[in-house]
Amino acid sequence: MNKRVKSVVPPELPKKIRIIGGIWRSRLLNVLDLPGLRPTTDRVRETLFNWLGQDLTGLNCIDLFAGTGALGFEAASRHAYSVTLLERDKKAYVRLTENFSALQSSPAPGSVQILHRDCVEYLKQQANLSSNLIFIDPPFQEEGLLDQALIQAGRICDDSPGGGIYAEFPASRSRESVEALLPEWNCGKYLEAGQVKACLFRSRRG
């Protein structure tokens, strides 16, 4: 007799997520139901911005695979000097621009740029690009995407105080395999939350 295998039902996406700090605190972002889209949860974002500090004044930030914009908009809300959000999916890009327009009733203190681009290719083409803080939260089902993004981030991210490289990856992947991609960086902060692991890398060069 064949045993029936239970199918794994992915968790239902929230229709809205909230910004948890800064000038846009409690403002809501609309979430699209798209394959691979996985907004960073309130709990994880709260932990991340406790690590970074509540005030990101002066930092130039890049949000790769921006999706809902939860990380990039959170940084802008906390007074980042500039935030660039990159998203290759057209529907997600349009929703990002809509969410940003809705937030503009209280303008961000810094500049916010939203680009419809392939994240890794964009970074490869920017020979002189520099950033203080980079968020990397790629679709987990696309193998190799995190690795490519981390390598490029390690090239362009500087060692400014308060900055670093933040990366989310699936719980099935080892922390050591991710750390090995950034030998000049130290995963000084680490968390596990459900099916997600995350590292905040700080430069060893500083």
3 lies in some domain: no
The total of structural domains in the chain comes to 1
Residue 5 counted as domain residue: no
Nearest to 198 by CA among 181, 180, 173: 173
Tens digits of residue pLDDT in 126-176: 878 889 999 999 988 888 899 999 999 999 998 788 889 999 999 999 999
Kindly state whether residue 7 falls inside one of the protein's structural domains. no
pLDDT score for 2 = 45
The boundaries of the domain holding residue 140 are: 16-203
| Residue 140 is assigned to a structural domain of this protein | yes
pLDDT of residue 158: 87
The whole-number average pLDDT for the span 19-41 is 88
134 inside domain: yes
Residue 2 falls within a domain, yes or no?
no
pLDDT class of 113 with cuts at 50, 70, 90: very high
Residues 6+ apart with CB under 8 A from 154: 165, 181, 182, 184, 185
Q: What is the pLDDT of residue 32?
A: 85
- Quote the pLDDT of residue 126: 84
Per-residue confidence (pLDDT) for residue 177, from 0 to 100? 96
Question: Over the stretch 46-96, which tens digit does the pLDDT of each residue have?
Answer: 999 999 988 999 999 999 999 999 999 999 999 999 999 999 999 999 999
Mean pLDDT of 114-130: 91
**Nearest of 75, 1, 88 to residue 40 by alpha carbon:** 75
Q: Residue 20 and residue 38: Cα distance in Å, rounded?
A: 17
For residue 206, the model assigns a pLDDT of 56
φ, ψ of residue 6 to 5 degrees: the values are: -70, 135
The residue with greater pLDDT, 33 or 83, is 83
pLDDT grade for 10, boundaries at 50, 70 and 90: very low
CATH code, domain with 62:
3.40.50.150
In a domain, 10, yes or no: no
Does residue 18 surpass a pLDDT of 50? yes
Q: Is residue 6 part of a domain?
A: no
Contacts with 121 (C-beta within 8 Å, 6 or more apart), sequence order: none
